[in-house]
């Protein structure tokens, strides 16, 4: 394709049909649902998404792609040429839809901002995203592993995370520096928090300095109380945050 790719917008377009098919086949909405694609690019995935029963809306920041994307003819498709991070998602999504399926091959530097926006402004049923492999591994990491961090706990509190497929950097044009992975985040209600604000703060503070233990990172909290609660989970203030499960964080914040 002859197109002047904009590196700053993370424009690496998918050209591998097997991967496009795998992503598309993993998304199974009904005609009462809505697919929201972020960054359709030249529409490699969009072309498959419009074959499904659901309506599709896309947000693409680069207006130069309008002439390419307008070739996809479908009554079910609506494309907004806007910065996804700046739109008012609530206004763009008709409340008539039952389930919201978000899809995106995201520029790596705005992955977390996009997930936060989706969660703040909508009630996603499922988010299927292609992201840098290392980031995907961090999102899905288990306690005690090197990759386990505050974002792992935050996401796993909210979602079940499932790997869809690994994607070699050779599947893109132009070829990026890193390999990618497609993962699916599906909303879960496994954990019940009675104070999410405190839970998120506790997660962030506990991982503040990864090499330090909880006594150091949580020095602004009621340490005596935390020590008592940790004992109930056979843990102590000498532990590092990476030793606490999502359930442990929910238990601590619910009882502080």
* Matching residue, tokens 């233990």: 213
Strand pairing report for 159-167 and 180-187: antiparallel
Residue at shortest CB range from ligand SAM: 39
Provide the H-helix boundaries in 86-222.
89-92, 111-121, 133-139, 150-158, 196-206, 214-217
Interaction between residue 14 and ligand SAM (CB under 6 A): yes
Interaction between residue 178 and ligand SAM (CB under 6 A): no
- Scanning 9-17, 151-159, 214-222, 230-238 for contacts with ligand SAM by CB under 6 A, the matching segment is 9-17
Strand pairing report for 126-132 and 180-187: antiparallel
For ligand SAM, the binding residues in 212-251 under the rule CB under 6 A are none
- Shortest distance, position 149 Cβ to ligand SAM, whole Å: 24
CA dihedral 128, 133, 134, 136 (to 10 degrees): 20
For ligand SAM, the binding residues in 91-130 under the rule CB under 6 A are 105, 107, 110
For ligand SAM, the binding residues in 34-73 under the rule CB under 6 A are 38-41, 44-45, 59-62
- What is d(CA 42, CA 179) in angstroms, rounded to the nearest whole number? 20
Q: Of 156 and 180, which has the nearer Cβ to ligand SAM? A: 180
Q: Of 44 and 50, which has the nearer Cβ to ligand SAM? A: 44
Q: Which residues contact 103 (CB under 8 A, 6 or more apart)?
A: 23, 27, 35, 36, 37, 38, 45, 49, 127, 128, 129
- Scanning 7-15, 115-123, 134-142, 197-205 for contacts with ligand SAM by CB under 6 A, the matching segment is 7-15
- Shortest distance, position 128 Cβ to ligand SAM, whole Å: 12
Backbone φ, ψ for residue 31 (5° rounding): -75, -5
Q: Of 10 and 29, which has the nearer Cβ to ligand SAM? A: 10
Q: Which residues contact 237 (CB under 8 A, 6 or more apart)?
A: 213, 214, 215, 218, 223, 226, 227, 230
Which of 9, 68, 92, 137: binder of ligand SAM (CB under 6 A)? Answer: 9
Interaction between residue 148 and ligand SAM (CB under 6 A): no
Judged by CB under 6 A, the number of residues near ligand SAM is: 22
User: In this structure, are residues 102 and 130 in contact, taking their beta carbons and an 8 Å threshold?
Assistant: no
Residues that bind ligand SAM (CB under 6 A): 9-14, 38-41, 44-45, 59-62, 83-85, 105, 107, 110
């Amino acid at each position: 394709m002859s197109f002047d790719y904009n590196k700053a917008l993370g424009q690496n377009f998918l050209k591998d049909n097997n991967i496009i098919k795998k992503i598309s086949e993993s998304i199974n909405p009904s005609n009462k649902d809505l697919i929201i694609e972020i960054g359709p690019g030249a529409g490699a995935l969009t072309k498959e998404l419009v074959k499904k029963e659901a309506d599709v809306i896309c947000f693409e920041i680069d207006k130069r792609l309008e002439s390419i994307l307008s070739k996809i003819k479908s009554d079910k498709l609506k494309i907004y040429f806007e910065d996804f991070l700046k739109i008012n998602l609530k206004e763009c999504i008709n409340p008539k839809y039952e389930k919201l399926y978000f899809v995106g091959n995201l520029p790596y530097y705005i992955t977390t901002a996009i997930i936060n926006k989706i969660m703040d402004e909508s009630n996603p049923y499922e988010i299927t995203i292609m992201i840098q492999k290392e980031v995907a591994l961090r999102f899905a990491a288990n306690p005690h592993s090197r990759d386990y961090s505050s974002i792992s706990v935050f996401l796993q509190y909210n979602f079940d995370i499932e790997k869809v497929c690994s994607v070699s950097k050779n599947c893109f044009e132009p070829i990026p520096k890193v390999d990618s992975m497609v993962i699916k985040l599906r909303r879960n209600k496994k954990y019940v928090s009675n104070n999410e604000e405190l839970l998120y703060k506790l997660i962030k503070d506990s991982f503040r300095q990864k090499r330090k233990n909880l006594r150091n990172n949580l020095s602004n909290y009621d340490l005596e109380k935390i020590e008592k609660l940790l004992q109930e989970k056979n843990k102590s203030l000498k532990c590092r945050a990476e030793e606490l499960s999502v359930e442990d964080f929910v238990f601590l914040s619910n009882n502080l």
